[in-house]
Chains A and B, each alone.
Chain A
Amino acid sequence: MTRLCCRLRRGLVSATAAAALLTATACASTPADPDAVRIGLLVSLSGTYATVGQDMQAGFRLYLDSHGGQLGGRKIDLVVGDEGDGPATAVPAAQKLLERDRVLALTGLVGGATVDKVQVLTTARKIPLLGANARPAFTSEGGKPRDLTYTWHTSYNSDEPGIAIADHVKAQVGDGAVYAIGPDYQGGWDELRGFTDTFTRLGGKLANPDGKALFTPFPATENFLPYLNKAAATNPEAVYTFYAGAAAVAFVKQYAQSDLKDVPLYAAGFLTEGSVLTAQGPAATGIRNVLNYSPTLSNAANQAFIAAWSAAGNSNPPTTFAMASYDAAAVLDRALAAVAGNVTGPKLNEAIGKVGRVTSPRGDWQFEPTEHRPVQRWYLREVRADGPVLSNVLVQDLTTLPAT
């Protein structure tokens, strides 16, 4: 109901009086608990990354629901906003969460470009931003490096998957060249740069004619075949890519239909993560990819997480998106427990800095003290049938990033 409510609020459509009345009543019927701590969850509920956003919401709610709706012994009032396809929809939604709902922490955030813009808003209000997905290379503001005091991520830097797998790809292709292709936006640039920079530093060659990764218009491109056949003409030994959400489905299906179909495909794990894998079907089999999580990890925290995830009625294995958002709730749980008295942004932020080692389904991790993002293992996975469903099966550990 909240989803319908938010969507209706967005457009001119709110003029459809009956529907608007219905949702308005539904919204008003849940009065806010005055003692509750209000947390904002900003994720894509529409657009290319809607499935990612829904996973992140499911992960956060899984933790919240399995802890009686409380974090750190305090009741949580969770307000959800729609990030859409990027800053154009995300910034107004974030402003609404910060100014009207006066949330004490903001979590979620699917896209790197969104994080880049919203981070400025939360920092200005001294509200911790606990991102659970993409983290961009923050550009400097007015000549000064970005103030990251109030910025935390339970996920990764967008360039880390590429950095983590480059060594493995180099070992596999030897002297062969690798074609790099990705979507033309902040997230795509970061993901591809991580790979191409590390790969060329290790002595690898790119098959792209100009020695730079090819970027396809985002989110406009749904027809990848022309790009793929053009890439095939360079005779690459392997292809490295990053796409996520709906674009990932189109890319993988069309890859299997193109001249490249017999060329090994390496990818940032988002290409085959979550519901997109079901939609890709057998076309995804054999894709080798890198991520900070695999549902087949054997640690105890992961087994408990998987059990709770299935018990909540999810038929597909959990994703890194759900896992990182679950961890965001876990971080808030421990931080809120450590705050004495009234919760304020600065007090909560200080407590987040002191949570220490976090036991997580991905294996234990902790915040890097200055950059505020996890120091964690990266894993090589391969898409294989795991029982009746396709899954990203763990192949081997790759490396720990950021390297210390």
Chain B
Amino acid sequence: MDTYLIPGLDGIAYGLLLAIAAAGLTLAFGAGGVLNLAHGTLIAAGGYVAATTSTGTWPSLAAAVTAATALGAAGGGVLAAATARLRGRGHLDQALLTFGIALIGADLLTTVFGADIRRPRLPAALDTTLTIAGHPYPADRLAALTAAVIITTIGYAVLHRTRAGRLIRATVDDRHMVAGIGVDPRTVDTTVLIASGALAGLAGALCTPILGVGPATAPTTLLLSLVIVVCGGLGSVPGAMVAATGVGLIQTIGVITIPALAPYLLLGAMALLLLTRRRPLPGMSG
């Protein structure tokens, strides 16, 4: 059992980071109806900015996280402006547009930052290991886990306890009703895409010390986010949380328990879930 303690902790940390990334994607789809295939590119961009900004001091780390979030938000704004004109033309047009943006973005990133995998330099206090139940565990992962828990809590509170959050959830459920109470749902769409971009940038910054950021980051994180969004139910934030934790645990405990199936485990589990699921996951709207 002891063998699974650290991988389990690791899986939850990984899962929560993925949840932050996927929450943005699922919200943008649920509220704005935008299937954003450039989401992974925003995550990668956040990661690159964080990796190049953080130089091993606390102020540079703070600057890195802020810059990554801001870049993500700006990217979200661009996507909002780009997709607004395609409203009513269906998901395929949006998917095509955001996919094109993703390809151009990915190429720009490798041109600017090179093909190497980059990792940020962290303050000495984070670049060490702590002892948990007799096992060493990297401090940077624990910090990322803590940050992920805090962000998730804040996100949940914003979504459920503030007017802005209620409006977003209302738009997911029935955008005509939102228009009926005097709020332009398109403003909500734009806000959600910007917030979703900010979350993507932030998730990128938090993942980088652990996984590094490179040319494979954008497609990998997009794929994982899509798996999470599909498994958790389109537009459902709690569903995404559950699915993300599941993905995290499969990627850590699953791969060491059945190493022979490691490459197929994640997509296999997704296929199984989709085939057998009779009722929506908790919080799924339909």
Interface residues of A (CB under 8 A from B): 4, 7-8, 11-13, 15-16, 45-48, 50-51, 184, 214-217, 219-223, 225-227, 229-230, 233, 246, 249-250, 254, 256-259, 261, 275, 279
Contacts and interface: CB of A to CB of B under 8 A. Distances in A.
B145 to A, nearest CB: 13
Contact of B103 (A12, A220, A259, A275): A12
25 contacts: A4-B111, A11-B103, A11-B107, A15-B100, A47-B115, A50-B115, A51-B116, A217-B255, A217-B262, A222-B212, A223-B251, A225-B6, A226-B6, A226-B10, A226-B253, A227-B259, A229-B3, A229-B6, A230-B7, A233-B3, A246-B214, A250-B211, A250-B212, A257-B136, A259-B6
Contacts of A13: 103-104, 107
Contact of A219 (B119, B135, B210, B216): B216
B136 A249 contact: no
Interface in B73-91: none
A8 B263 contact: no
Size bracket, chain B contacts: 35 or more
A21 to B, nearest CB: 15
Interface string B115-135: 111010000000001000001
B115 A46 contact: yes
B255 A12 contact: no
Which 3 residue pairs spanning A and B have beta carbons closest together?
Answer: A50-B115, A246-B117, A226-B7
Contacts of B137: 257
B155 interface: no
Contacts of A11: 103, 107
Chain B CB count within 10 A is highest, among A223, A226, A233, A250, for: A226
Given A223-B210, A227-B259, A279-B119, 17 more contacts: A11-B103, A13-B107, A15-B100, A50-B114, A215-B259, A216-B262, A217-B263, A220-B220, A220-B263, A223-B10, A225-B252, A226-B10, A226-B252, A226-B253, A229-B3, A229-B6, A249-B119
Given A11-B107, A50-B115, A229-B7, A249 B262 contact: no
B110 interface: yes
Nearest to B107: A13
Interface of B: 3, 6-7, 10, 14, 100, 103-104, 107, 110-111, 114-117, 119, 129, 135-138, 210-212, 214-216, 220, 251-253, 255-256, 259, 262-263
Contacts, number: 96
A249 B117 contact: yes
A214 B259 contact: yes
Contact of B256 (A219, A230, A250): A230
Nearest to A246: B117
Contacts of A256: 129
A86 to B, nearest CB: 13
A226 B214 contact: no
Contacts of A226: 6-7, 10, 252-253, 255-256
Given A226-B255, A279-B119, A8 B107 contact: yes
Contacts of A229: 3, 6-7, 135
Contacts of B104: 13, 16
A223 B259 CA distance: 14
A258 B136 contact: yes
Contacts of B216: 47-48, 219
Given A47-B115, A219-B216, A7 B110 contact: yes
Nearest to A279: B119
Nearest to B255: A226
Chain A CB count within 10 A is highest, among B6, B14, B103, B251, for: B6
Chain B CB count within 10 A is highest, among A217, A220, A229, A230, for: A229
